[in-house]
């Protein structure tokens, strides 16, 4: 059972969140051709290792979050607000000296070395992917 560090609400149980989708997908413009939309909607990678996912803190602040998660260990390397404007506002209002333990949540960080403790956890470190559009 995962614990997700919501940038607004702090560490919360997975039960408060819903998985929304693959955050690595780049959605095309609405008037893009059907084939391009087919790729975006139906043809996704299903990697073993680090993935970028979109979640919503649906029973909390309702923020959409980009979470870098390991599909084998469920380790979460980083959590950040999906809406760039919200993320910027959050960064601007956060006290610069605040040593909050989840300060790293604002930007994706490299996974901790703990992940590689088990053989199965070894994999690519998370790739930074910015949201589409």
Partner 1 sequence: MTGYRLRSGGVVDRTQPLRFAWDGTRYTGLAGDTLGSAMMANGIHTVARGFKYHRPRGIMTAGVEETGALVTLGRGARREPNAKAPAVELVEGLEAWGQNAWPSVRFDVGRINDVMGRFFAAGFYYKTFFGITGRGTGEWMLFERLIRAAAGMGRAADPADMRAGAGAGAGAGAGAGAGARTAGETWDLAHDHCDVLVVGAGPAGLAAAEAAAAGGADVLVIEQDFEPGGRLIGRADGVEGQPADTWIADRVAALHRAGARLLTRATAFGLYDANVVGVFQRAPDANGAGPSGTLRIVRPERVILATGGLERPIVCGGNDRPGVLLAGAAERYVARWGVTPGASCLVATADDAAYETAATLAAAGVAVTVADVRIGAGGPAREAAAAAGARIHDGMVPVRVAGRWTAHHAVQAVALGRVADTDPERPKAPDTPAPEAPASSARGGALAGTGIATAAIERWVEADCLALSGGWSPAIHLVCHRGVKPAFDPAQGAFRIAEDACPEGLALAGAADARADTADAVADGRHAGETAAARLAGRPAPRARPGVTAPTAARLYEVRWRDGKTKAFVDPQHDVTADDVRLAAREGYVSVEHMKRYTTLGMATDQGKTGGLVGLALLAEATGRSIPETGITTFRPPYTPVPIAAFAGRARGADWQPERLTPLHDVQAEAGAVFTDAGRWRRAWYHRRPGEGIETAYVREARTVRESVGMVDVSTLGKIDVMGPDAAEFLNRVYVNGFAKLPVGRCRYGVMLRDDGIVLDDGVSWRLAEDRFWMTTTTAEAAKVMHWLEYLIAWRWPELRVHVASSTDQWAGIAVAGPRARSALSRVVAAAAVDGEALPFMGIVETRATVAGGTVPVRIGRVSFSGELAYEVHVPAGWGAAVWQALATAVAAEGGAPYGTEALGALRIEKGHVTVAELDGRTTLADAGLGRMASTKKAFVGRALMAREGLLEESRPQLAHVVPIAATDAAPAGGEPGTQADAGLTTEAVRTRFGGGAILCDPTAPGGVGGRAGHGIGWITGVTESPSFGGWLGIGFVEGGPAAWEGREILVREPTVDGGKGRETRARVLSPHRLDPDGARMRA
Instruction: CB nearer to partner 1: give 63 or 78.
Output: 63
- 100, 107, 110, 114: residue in contact with partner 1 (rule CB under 8 A): 114
Question: Which of these ranges, 45-53, 90-98, 99-107, 117-125, lies near partner 1 under the rule CB under 8 A?
Answer: 117-125
Q: Which of 47, 59, 100, 118 binds partner 1 (CB under 8 A)?
A: 118
In the complex, the smallest distance separating the C-beta of residue 43 from partner 1, rounded to whole angstroms, is 12
| Cβ atoms of residues 131 and 21 within 8 Å | no
- Measured CA to CA in angstroms, residue 95 lies from 20, 68, 91, 98, 99 at distances of 30, 25, 8, 5, 9
Closest to partner 1 by CB, 1 or 96: 1
Q: Is 40 in the site for partner 1 (CB under 8 A)?
A: yes
Which of 67, 73, 105, 111 is close enough to bind partner 1 by CB under 8 A?
Answer: 73
Least distance to partner 1, CB of residue 5, Å: 12
Residue (of 12, 115, 17, 29) closest to 66 by Cα position: 17
Please spell the DSSP secondary structure of 23-80, one letter per residue. TT--PPPTTS-HHHHHHHHH-----SSEEEEEEE-TTTT--EEEEEEETTT--EEEEE
Distance CA 116, CA 133 (A): 33
Cα(39)–Cα(41) distance, integer angstroms: 6
- Positions touching partner 1 (CB under 8 A) are 1-3, 13, 18, 20, 27, 29-34, 36-38, 40-42, 54, 56, 58, 62-64, 73-75, 82-86, 114, 117-120, 131-133
């Amino acid at each position: 059972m995962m614990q997700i560090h919501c940038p607004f609400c702090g560490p919360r149980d997975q039960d408060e969140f819903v998985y929304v989708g693959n955050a690595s997908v780049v959605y095309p413009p609405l008037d893009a051709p059907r084939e391009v939309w087919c790729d975006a909607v139906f043809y996704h990678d299903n990697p073993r290792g680090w993935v970028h996912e979109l979640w919503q803190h649906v029973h909390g602040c309702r923020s959409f979050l980009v979470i870098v998660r390991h599909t084998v260990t469920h380790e979460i390397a980083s959590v950040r607000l999906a809406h760039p404007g919200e993320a910027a506002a959050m960064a601007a209002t956060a006290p610069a000296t605040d040593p909050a333990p989840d300060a790293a949540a604002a930007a994706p960080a490299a996974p901790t070395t703990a992940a590689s403790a088990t053989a199965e956890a070894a994999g690519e470190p998370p790739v930074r992917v910015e949201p589409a559009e």
